[in-house]
């Protein structure tokens, strides 16, 4: 007969396999990043749609950042000015 300690240990091991670090499901842990403050953030990317340009993506995501500065950051992060439909465009 199994003891309660053995059962608890088995359940803990299974939970560790199913969850990533910090108890976040493994798939979600891979998709999230940490901010400088340590808070979990959603991935910082935009999936390019037909007609998207870095300029239009900047219009949508730049917030209060200067438009030209944001586009320059997009170019640096994405290794150039060309994007393709379906591409994950990394956001600053």
pLDDT tens-digit profile of 1-56? 544 444 334 434 434 333 333 443 433 333 344 445 655 566 699 999 999 999 99
- In 10 A of CB 46, how many CB atoms? 19
Residues 49 and 66 in one domain: yes
The pLDDT assigned to 48 comes to 97
The pLDDT assigned to 26 comes to 37
Q: What is the domain extent for residue 90? A: 44-92
The pLDDT assigned to 76 comes to 97
Burial of 24 (0-12, 13-18, 19+ CB in 10 A): middle
Residues 29 and 49 in one domain: no
pLDDT tens-digit profile of 70-80? 999 999 999 99
The pLDDT assigned to 41 comes to 60
The pLDDT assigned to 84 comes to 97
Q: Kindly report the CATH number assigned to the domain that includes residue 87.
A: 3.10.350.10
Residues 51 and 61 in one domain: yes
Residues 48 and 34 in one domain: no
pTM exceeds 0.75, yes or no: no
Cα separation, 71 vs 57, whole angstroms: 9
Which tokens in the block code for residue 19? 């969850």
Residues 35 and 66 in one domain: no
> What total number of domains does the chain contain?
2
- DSSP assignment of 30-89 equals HH-EE-TTS-EE---EEE--TT--HHHHHHHH-TTS-HHHHHHHHHHHTTSS---TT-EE
């Amino acid at each position: 007969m199994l003891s309660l300690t053995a059962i608890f240990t088995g359940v803990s091991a299974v939970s560790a396999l199913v969850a990533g670090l910090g108890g976040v499901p493994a798939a979600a842990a891979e998709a999230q990043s940490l901010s400088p403050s340590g808070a979990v953030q959603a991935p910082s990317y935009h999936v390019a749609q037909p007609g998207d340009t870095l300029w239009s993506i900047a219009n949508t995501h730049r917030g209060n950042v200067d438009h030209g500065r944001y586009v320059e950051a997009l170019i640096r992060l994405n290794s150039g000015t060309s994007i393709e439909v379906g591409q994950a465009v990394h956001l600053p």
